[in-house]
Amino acid sequence: MMTYFNIFLAFFKISFISFGGAFGALPELQRIVVDVHHWMSAKNFVDAYVIGQFVPGPNMAMSGVIGYMVAGILGWFVALAGIYSGSLITMRIGSFYFERHREVQVLKRIEIALRPLVLGLITASAIKFFVMQAQGSLGLAMIMSGLLVALYSYKKVSAISAIFLGGFLWWVVSFF
Amino acid sequence: MIMTHTKMDPSLKDWLVICFKIGALAFGGAGRGMLVRDAVVVEKKWLTNDEFHQIHTVASVLPGSNIANLAAYIGYRLFGNLGGVLGVIALVVPGALLALMVLLFIPINQPDIANIFLGFSIASIAIFAVFIAQLFSGIKSHHISGPLPRSKYVLRILVSLTIVVSILLGGSFLITLLGGLALCLFVEFLA
């Protein structure tokens, strides 16, 4: 029972500290799940992240995967309930306040002011996860990424095709 | 641009279908907010463009998954508590179920499959880098018309860099977050 509660709480907390989307709070989620609670190894955490990236919809689908790895189907449920009930509560209060005050200008200014924070958190997460996943083959990973970004930006290859191509290329590369 | 301001009566069923579709079909990071906009503003005309952008601002400034925040707010606004809660569930469940299926039925530890998945994931960060580049150009924005003073731009870049370095060196996330919040507000309102 305590485990379920702790899973819920871990994800509930993450929801309130993820500014600019949950991606920026991933290092903290990893710390809580791997280092504080010892629920899983760093490798399992990366597996959960990879699966979460692979499916459609909000990328915090990985919460459910982590919950399941720790405590089965009920763990899946409480992890998702934790992270998304945070959103529902925050937005209930936020919308309640904003529908009454409509301080659009102030809010817009704060949103712009916080952009460096969001940029910093997300960049740090991206670097951290990129390096963790590339493991020994950082150079190869960078070359492949450069190629995919070029295809995506200049040849208008869709994001999902670029991601599938990445899977194929990395598989081919693994033979060498 | 011609803007029609006739708003249509929202239907809860249609709203849940929209959320479910985005949850089940929208792959790959950024830009999903715009799918919501297309559905709610352009197609259904439940909200005006301005209303949507105000809601989008609230959803991105408050903590939490951006797309879930957006769905929660639009749901609350159009249909009350039920619209928010059910909307988020419809958005989240398809991907969460699919992720569970992948975990249960695909042997992700088999070396070939592990490499393919790793490739997917590395590629998704690569594509994400394009989004990060857009965020970077976003920090040039000024809240009033006219260009942002150069000194403020430099300060903002320094704040971002400080946060990146702090996280990568393993500094406490909470302290980095609170410090970053304080620095951002300081740069905007006092510097």
User: Confidence class of residue B1 from pLDDT cuts 50, 70 and 90?
Assistant: very low
Q: How far is the alpha carbon of B118 from chain A, nearest alpha carbon, in Å? A: 7
Q: How far is the alpha carbon of A159 from chain B, nearest alpha carbon, in Å? A: 6
Q: State ipTM.
A: 0.88
Q: Over the stretch B5-24, which tens digit does the pLDDT of each residue have?
A: 567 788 999 999 999 999 99
Interface test with A, best of B61, B78, B81, B89 (most A CBs within 10 A): B61
**pLDDT confidence of residue B35:** 87
Please list every residue in chain A whose beta carbon sits closer than 8 Å to the beta carbon of residue B32.
Answer: 58
DSSP B3-45: ---PPPPP-HHHHHHHHHHHHHH--SSTTHHHHHHIIIIIIS-
Q: Over the stretch A29-54, which tens digit does the pLDDT of each residue have?
A: 999 999 999 999 988 998 898 888 88
Q: Over the stretch B21-63, which tens digit does the pLDDT of each residue have?
A: 999 988 755 567 788 999 999 999 999 999 998 999 899 899 9
Q: Over the stretch A81-119, which tens digit does the pLDDT of each residue have?
A: 999 999 999 999 999 998 888 777 888 889 899 999 999
CA distance B66 to A126: 17
CA distance B43 to B7: 11
Full-model pTM: 0.89
Please list every residue in chain B whose beta carbon sits closer than 8 Å to the beta carbon of residue A47.
Answer: 108, 117
Phi, psi dihedral angles at B142 (to 5 degrees): -120, 145
CA distance B158 to B21: 40
